[in-house]
Chains A and B, each alone.
Chain A
Amino acid sequence: MTDPEAAAMLPLTPAVFHILLSLAEGERHGYAVMQDVESRTNGTVRMGPGTLYGSIKRMVASGLIESAGERQEDGERRRFYTLTALGRAVLRAEAERLRDLVAAAQAARVLPRPRKV
């Protein structure tokens, strides 16, 4: 099921996972990613510029995301990023890995089983 190339990159750091997650919804520029991650996690994951662009740099280098060119937004030129196919596969693989982990935790009664509604 899992793409072997994607599996080789697991597990992801929280920052990389969140950036991929944010970009899965569409192209975003760096600051928007940061705001999105903060609001998605209710402020528990905060990325400074070092982490954000450090991660972006490495993710571009390893082909998880790519630049989608520069556009005007709020009167400023911003560079937008978008997921690559590999990035989507890796995000998916990581999410599945996490799901399996959660399932394992539930089986071990560490977490409550989900109730059918």
Chain B
Amino acid sequence: MLRLMAHLLARLLPRDLRDAHAEEIARDIDARFRHGQRVSTVTDLAVAIVRERRDDRHRLPFRRVRTYPMTNLLQDFRFALRMIQRRPGLSAAIILILGIGIGSATAIVSLASATLLRPITARDPERLVEIRSAMSYTDFRALQRGSDIAESVFAYGSQSGVSLKRGGVTRRVPATLVSGNYFEGLGVRPAAGRLLTPADDVPGGIPAVVLSHRLWSSAFGRSQDVIGETVYVNSRPVVVVGVAPPGFKGLSLANVGDVWMPAAFTPDLATGFIGRPAALTGEMLWLRVVVRLKPGVTMEQASAGLTALKASMHPPAAGAAPQVMPVDPVVAAVVTSGSRADLRTFMLLLVAVAATLLLLGSSNVANLLLARVASRRHELSVRAALGAGRGRLMMQLLVESLVLAVAGGAAGVLVAAAALRAVGRYRLPGDIAIEDLGLAIDGMTMITTVALSIAAVLVFGPLPAWLGSRRDLRPALSESGRGSTRLPLGRMLLAMQVALCVMLVGGGLLFARGLQRALSLDLGYDPRHVAMTTADPALERLTPAATDQYISEILSRLRADRSITAAGVSVIRPMRGGISTSIVIEGRTAADDPHIAANLVSEGWMEAMALRLLKGRTLNESDRRASQRVGVISESAARAFWPGRDPIGARFKFDDDAEAPFYEVVGVVADARYGKVDAEVQPFVYLSIFDHGMSAFRAQLHFFARTRGEPRAAIGHIQDAAKAAAPHVPLFGGMTLEDHVASVLMPQRLGLVLLLVFAATGLVLAAGGVYAIAAHTVSMRIREIGIRMALGARRGRVVMDLLRDGAFPLGAGIIAGMILQLWSSQFAESFVFGLDVRGPAQILGAGAIVCVAAFTGLLLPARRAAGVDPSIALREP
């Protein structure tokens, strides 16, 4: 036992002492115990040895210099600043590299945290859960009364646009209908006035509404006068009672509301699907229900409790299992369920890409510092010989790294701010406008930056510091300042950089191909030279006849315009799907329940869209009043429902009911992409927008005008025509059809832009890294090269030698990068429209691009080396 302890204690001693005096020391320790010292001296001894190690190492014998840690640190800082000033080019490069890496990572982390981590403003958000399926108003009320797991139950439903009129100005703003306890349940405080209370949420009287801080600031100049004022929502008077706190975005990031209105007034204030009395009485499922759980209630208990409650409200059919009511934490539920996974994957992809770039940048900096340490061997040796301990040298080098990282972090803040501004106009999956997230450089961002800077120091700092402080530097003193010519760790870092770079470039190529493919898909219509604007006559409560009149007037005004070749209107915009309905074909009984997507359009619309007519005719003005209802079908509808025969003249209806009217097929047009770009093309039917049987679907009207030249001016023409027809109907969404189509591809575009920027940066960094290391190697070997040239070596031979020297790390890096790329590309799969993400094209392409860039970085110094005059090289010190 004592032997063992003696042995262990001896292990604590510095190696040189252990080697020379191990036996003696073991015996001494042994002797201590034999002389009756207590076991507690073991710890005393251990402490003494450790303290001695700390104090005594690397000091010159016989002279003790007392140093104080703080003085050292200050000295190190001053020294670091001097070193940074002495090599301004190198320092600037390092700070720039770190700034880009840290800045882009900061921007993406704030984006990710705003969407995935802390997207909502609420008190104790961890106790909030959202019921996954939408609920009817009556069920919500029953739930509110009957729940024993909840502290409160509240609900909201989104309305994408209401008209808000104050003074003479009408605005179209997104709105949210909420239960009276919504704000109370979330636990937010007003910025001005008061928020809604349960007392506001009872029918009768003038409804109270709350404005968003954003709207209050942008539209009303933060005027206190607005509070208590009567304004008009969809032509109904309401009273503004208060303003929500700044940054409060509600619970849905895709539908960020600007006005909150009590749900009890839904039929009065809302339009379209939920603007009907049935919204409050029927079985319409439109409310998202949020539960604030009592403390200690788990998600499972919540789900079980809600399932039981639902079963008691709607007893399941005999033998059937009760409908399970899953809940999601609100933090995860803010994005509509369909795109939640997409958003998550997308953000994680961006985070991974940014992390890769930061890692690449940091290892690049590590390499630059490594090369610098190698060229500073002489200085470091002298300092070591003068008595600087290893810890001291290492500390000094680490402090230099730290100063660089702080400067890089500061640059990173600027880069992050610029990056967040630059991506503002893009949208994330789930139709989240980045602008709406209100991202700015705030405390959270700063913390992120600091954390990332520290992470970067940890990556690039210690290695050069450790190597730089190595003891075997001392022999360098006798070598007149020349260090070793090889940097094995530098080469490993280089290989890593090249590998990461291949991955980034491969990702960039993948996104580029995906987007190119999406853009080159045949849409079935021609989005060029088309202007569009949307009107919402339902907000002004125009009657169906008045709406017909409104449409006719606008279209005839547009057709009178000589710059417009065709004009039409539809109820669905491209890329926004269609009205899905069942279809019954005359003379055919289908085994399944066939569905078709429909759009309501006016005459002239197909011409404005340049939808290709394959057979028969398009809709015309005579169809408006004709006794026979008609429809134009798409190519795939013809194939699906009338296979092998001419569909012109065939009849169909939308309901099995004997009363339901028949429609006659008068034309066949090419398939058009109406949903997501990558979705299957579905059978489509175009019906007349003047068919009053379908007027329930006639909420928003999208006017299209095909122009001879630049379409942007025509947006104003449509708006003028609409204003002339009915001045108060709100207009919005004025843009070109090309922009609209492009907006659907926003996440892909954002991904592409970021990946291309990152890949380009990575490529420059990697090539620069190769160059720096190669240049360093060459400068270290210049004497040797000179001797070889003097002895008659040929230029080409010298260049080849140098290239071969560098080829190994590069080749290894490229191969590793291609493997990494093969593995990592699966995460991009959902954003590149069914491309083969493991296709050899982008993997080999990425390898080739990086290869060319890296070997260029290698070739330049090698050629320069081979060009030196041996007589000069030999005279080099």
Question: Residues on A close to B: CB < 8 A?
Answer: 9, 11-13, 16, 29-31, 34, 46, 48-59, 62, 74, 76, 78-79
Contacts of A59 on B, CB cut-off 8 Å?
61
A50 in contact with B14 (CB, 8 Å): yes
Most chain A beta-carbon neighbours within 10 Å: one of B30, B51, B62 = B62
- Output the least CB separation between B54 and chain A (Å): 10
- Output the least CB separation between A86 and chain B (Å): 13
A53 in contact with B27 (CB, 8 Å): no
Contact with A along B10-39 (1 / 0, CB 8 A): 100110110011001101111110000000
Q: Which 7 A-B pairs have the closest CB atoms?
A: A48-B48, A50-B52, A58-B61, A53-B21, A31-B28, A49-B25, A50-B49
Can you add 7 more A-B contacts, CB < 8 Å, to A29-B24, A54-B14?
A: A11-B62, A16-B61, A31-B27, A49-B28, A50-B52, A53-B21, A57-B17
Q: Could you list 27 A-B pairs, sorted by A, with CB under 8 Å?
A: A13-B63, A30-B28, A31-B27, A31-B28, A31-B32, A34-B28, A48-B52, A49-B10, A49-B21, A49-B45, A49-B48, A50-B14, A50-B17, A50-B48, A50-B52, A51-B56, A53-B13, A53-B17, A53-B20, A53-B25, A58-B62, A59-B61, A62-B61, A76-B31, A78-B24, A78-B27, A79-B24
Q: Closest chain A residue to B28 by CB distance?
A: A31
CA distance A58 to B64 in the complex (A): 14
- Output the least CB separation between B26 and chain A (Å): 9
CA distance A6 to B49 in the complex (A): 30
- B3 interface hit (Cβ, 8 Å): no
Q: Closest chain A residue to B25 by CB distance?
A: A49
Contacts of A58 on B, CB cut-off 8 Å?
61-62
Main secondary structure of the interface of A (DSSP, over half): helix
Q: Closest chain A residue to B24 by CB distance?
A: A30
A50 in contact with B56 (CB, 8 Å): yes
- B53 interface hit (Cβ, 8 Å): yes
Q: Closest chain A residue to B12 by CB distance?
A: A50
Size bracket of the B interface: 20 to 34
- Output the least CB separation between A48 and chain B (Å): 3
- Output the least CB separation between B207 and chain A (Å): 83
Main secondary structure of the interface of B (DSSP, over half): helix
Q: Closest chain B residue to A53 by CB distance?
A: B21
A57 in contact with B24 (CB, 8 Å): no
CA distance A9 to B21 in the complex (A): 24
Contacts of B64 on A, CB cut-off 8 Å?
13
With contact pairs A34-B28, A48-B45, A50-B52 given, residues A57 and B16 touching in the complex (Cβ less than 8 Å):
yes
CA distance A31 to B63 in the complex (A): 24
CA distance A58 to B9 in the complex (A): 21
- Output the least CB separation between A7 and chain B (Å): 12
- Output the least CB separation between A27 and chain B (Å): 14
Contacts of A52 on B, CB cut-off 8 Å?
28
CA distance A16 to B61 in the complex (A): 9
CA distance A29 to B24 in the complex (A): 9
With contact pairs A31-B28, A54-B17 given, residues A49 and B62 touching in the complex (Cβ less than 8 Å):
no
- Output the least CB separation between B707 and chain A (Å): 89
B16 in contact with A50 (CB, 8 Å): no
Within 8 A of A (CB), among B28-83: 28-32, 45, 48-49, 51-53, 56, 61-64
Contact with A along B716-746 (1 / 0, CB 8 A): 0000000000000000000000000000000
